[in-house]
Structure 1
Amino acid sequence: MPTHYQAASDPNHFAQRFGIAFNPNGAIVRPGEQGLFVRRPRADGPTTGSVVRYQIAPGRWGLIPLFSKDGLDANTFEARGESAASERNFYQPWKRGHRCVVLADSLFQAGESDGTTVRVSRVDGQPLALAGLWNGWRSPSGECVESFALLTFALPGHPERRRTAILRDAWIDDWLQCPVEETAAYLRPYADDKLLRRALPADAAA
């Protein structure tokens, strides 16, 4: 089962972490579907006269590279943290510092055994802050289509197994604001004792 997530449902999380007034719907989001991500405002976006530190943007989960012909590129839902800076699909948003955060109440991933799904959430009930990259692509019709990918890393000692990068609360602001050369420093394992991993039947999170 491909990774998917349940978006954060409490507006207080967006207000407290990012200073954004927003009413989320807590929807299940799967690869290829529309999700919401938090980023620094686009440099070419409209100005309002007030300083806005962060903004919420809607976008397709599955990053559309700048060179895409039709916006239907496959296998761009996840970006490998150790190689995204040099991969053709991801190096442009990486070098431009187009980082984002997806707040999720839970993350669903394939379990180690066939036919199982693992639901990942925080022990304290707070949302997961998933690290991502975003991009804006201009379609042949001139429409600007925004999209994002979630970053992953290999488990130490198990390079064949990958985990979605979850940011610690104290790292969220730094992740969005840090220089490009410091990006990889935040793609580290989240403390296992602060996460709740629950095995589910494969169709339980459908």
Structure 2
Amino acid sequence: MVRPGAQGTFIRRPRGDREAAAVGARFEAAQGRWGLIPLFSKEREVRGTFEARGETAASERNFYQPWKRGHRCVVLADALYRRADSEDTIVRVTRADGQPLAMAGLWNGWRAPDGECVESFALLTLPAVEAPAQRRVVFLREAWVDDWLHCPVEETAAYLRPYALDKLVRRTIVRDPGIPLPERQPAC
């Protein structure tokens, strides 16, 4: 299980300086911190960059550079765990057909003051159709994954659509008090 602030795996187009690009691969797996580090950041820890609002990411200070550079990624997971309305519960979201979730994201490479290149990513969200005050992670339909990674920047927003709720299973779980939940993030 990957928590915000921890290392996770994401899928992206191969970077031009990588072996995968040289052999003509369409995808490569990369390791990065969940919580995008903007190019202008002076520090590795940046609050509020675990999720980017899909409708405004192209103009938000923390996310516009990866957006305009086409640094899109996909995060695959068996389930997504979200805070529920109560502090004692979490919601586990899975696909109804049991297949992995393909979550749309942005990634970035940041140069630390010591010269280390740190890669990071954020998940894209949209307002929940049934409750506009809430946010939902953007799940990509299977046929869209390749297109999402390779489309021109000006076509990116077309893939940010709500996923059919009848194709998802949401299960509320009473959480184990011994396992801390991630900090609640302020709205972007």
Same fold, TM-score > 0.5, yes or no = yes
Q: Which amino acid aligns with 2:50?
A: F
Moved more, 180-189 or 162-171: 180-189
Per the alignment, residue 30 of structure 1 pairs with 3
Q: Which runs of 4+ in 1 moved over 2 A?
A: 43-49, 112-115, 156-159, 202-206
Offset at 1:189?
Answer: 1.1
Candidates 164, 169, 173, aligned match of 2:137? 164
Moved more, 53-62 or 106-115: 106-115
Per the alignment, residue 127 of structure 1 pairs with 100
Offset at 1:204?
Answer: 8.0
Q: Report Cα offsets for 1:95-140 as digits up to 9, x if no partner.
A: 0000000000000111234422110001111000011000000111
After superposition, the CA RMSD in angstroms is: 1.7
Give yes or no for the alignment of 1:107 onto 2:80: yes
Tell me the distance in 2 between the aligned counterparts of 1:204 and 1:184: 39
Mapped contact 2:36–2:49 kept (Cα < 8 A):
yes
1:31-180 matches, within 5 Å, as: 31-46=4-19, 49-156=22-129, 158-180=131-153
Mapped contact 1:108–1:205 kept (Cα < 8 A):
no
Offset at 1:44?
Answer: 3.5
Offset at 1:161?
Answer: 0.5
Offset at 1:167?
Answer: 0.5
Identity %: 66
Structure 1 gaps of 5+ residues are 1-27
Give yes or no for the alignment of 1:194 onto 2:167: yes
Q: Report Cα offsets for 1:20-78 as digits up to 9, x if no partner.
A: xxxxxxxx000000000000011343577421211000000000000010211111000
Mapped contact 2:14–2:21 kept (Cα < 8 A):
no
Question: Helix, strand or coil: the match of 1:72?
Answer: coil
Q: Report Cα offsets for 1:129-162 as digits up to 9, x if no partner.
A: 0110000001111111100000000013633100
Shift of the 139–46 alpha-carbon distance from structure 1 to 2, 3 Å rule, reads: farther
Tell me the distance in 2 between the aligned counterparts of 1:142 and 1:173: 32
Shift of the 119–85 alpha-carbon distance from structure 1 to 2, 3 Å rule, reads: same
Offset at 1:191?
Answer: 1.1
TM-score by length of 2: 0.89
Question: Helix, strand or coil: the match of 2:15?
Answer: coil
TM-score by length of 1: 0.82
Mapped contact 2:20–2:28 kept (Cα < 8 A):
no
Mapped contact 1:62–1:76 kept (Cα < 8 A):
yes
Aligned pair count reads 179
Tell me the distance in 2 between the aligned counterparts of 1:174 and 1:49: 20
Offset at 1:181?
Answer: 1.1
Tell me the distance in 1 between the aligned counterparts of 2:20 and 2:92: 40
Shift of the 96–49 alpha-carbon distance from structure 1 to 2, 3 Å rule, reads: closer
Mapped contact 2:138–2:162 kept (Cα < 8 A):
yes
Tell me the distance in 2 between the aligned counterparts of 1:75 and 1:90: 11
